[in-house]
Amino acid sequence: MIFHRLFKIFLRLVLSIILDIKIEGLEKIPLRGSLILAHNHMNWVDAVLATSLVPRDIVSMTKLENLDLPVIGGLMRLYGSFPIRRGEVDRRALAQSISALKQGLALLMVPEGTRGKDWRLKPGKDGLAYVALRTGSPVVLMAISGSEQFWSNLTRLRRTPTQVIVDEPFYLSAAEGEVDREVLREITKEVMYRLASLLPAEYRGVYSDLSQAPNRYIMPTKQRILIPVQQGGDA
């Protein structure tokens, strides 16, 4: 993806002008093979930051409306973005995600589904857990903090101090049997608490009480991944 790589260089240049970025753990990202990269989402800068920092080509989900934007929508499509319909289980987007991972690509996902009115974590959707179980792909979490001040700092022509922490890769596994919606929600909860643990306390939102985190489905090394997974859950 020549365009992808050239555009990534451009994005890094722009971000270095508007953000003061400190990164920890970027070397933990696998450089080949299927991969799900997931980050918290406070504003549009987060997705641009995540995709530009990853040292490999990456495809991503984005809300359908973004791809309809003049110029920007076309660039996003060239960059490897595909649409997801928010507020529903978008089976086509899930199928595209699974297809990309089975081709050995890296996929960027936002487990919250969308950004909220503040920078705190919101309840996660089940799409990441579903796709990870279906493909057996490793997951890497990226915790971003500070970028919520981007707009206020931009109006004052100031760079925004932004912290990025990259977690160790992990796999999701479940017991023998068929994974239903309830299990998917438990897996999602465990992933979201892990993401919360990488963030400063004030960013953790509904996952503030880390003592409530499940500890059952995240595996540091590859385990037998349960297939099939029941259709359903929130994308």
Residue 192 pLDDT: 97
Q: Binning pLDDT at 50, 70 and 90, where does residue 206 land?
A: very high
Residue 10 pLDDT: 87
3-state helix, strand, coil in the chain (%, to 5): 40, 20, 40
Mean pLDDT of 22-50: 91
What pTM, to 2 d.p., does this model score? 0.86
Residue 87 pLDDT: 62
Domain that includes residue 122, residue range: 22-219
Q: Give the dihedral sign, CA 54/114/135/191.
A: positive
> Smallest Cα–Cα separation from 36: which of 228, 154, 187, 145?
187
98, part of any domain: yes
213, part of any domain: yes
**183 DSSP assignment:** H
- Can the peptide bond before residue 228 be classed as cis, meaning omega within 30 degrees of 0? yes
51, part of any domain: yes
209, part of any domain: yes
> Smallest Cα–Cα separation from 143: which of 129, 163, 113?
163
Report the C-alpha gap between 235 and 221 in whole angstroms. 25
Question: How many structural domains does the chain have?
Answer: 1
Largest CA distance in the chain: 56
Helix or strand run (H / E) with residue 108 = strand 106-109
Residue 62 pLDDT: 67
Q: Binning pLDDT at 50, 70 and 90, where does residue 208 land?
A: very high
Q: Give tens-digit pLDDT for 112-144.
A: 877 767 889 999 999 999 999 999 999 999 999
181 DSSP β-pair partners: none
More confident residue, 3 or 33: 33
194, part of any domain: yes
Report the C-alpha gap between 93 and 86 in whole angstroms. 10
Percent of the residues in the chain that have a pLDDT greater than 90, as a whole number: 48
Q: Binning pLDDT at 50, 70 and 90, where does residue 64 land?
A: low
Q: Which two tokens stand for residue 169?
A: 């890769």
Write down the residue that tokens 């050995």 correspond to.
104
**3-class state of residue 152 by DSSP:** helix
98 DSSP β-pair partners: none
7, part of any domain: no
**Which of 56-60, 84-88, 107-111, 117-121 has the least mean pLDDT?**
84-88
Mean pLDDT of 172-196: 88
What is the overall mean pLDDT for the chain? 84
111, part of any domain: yes
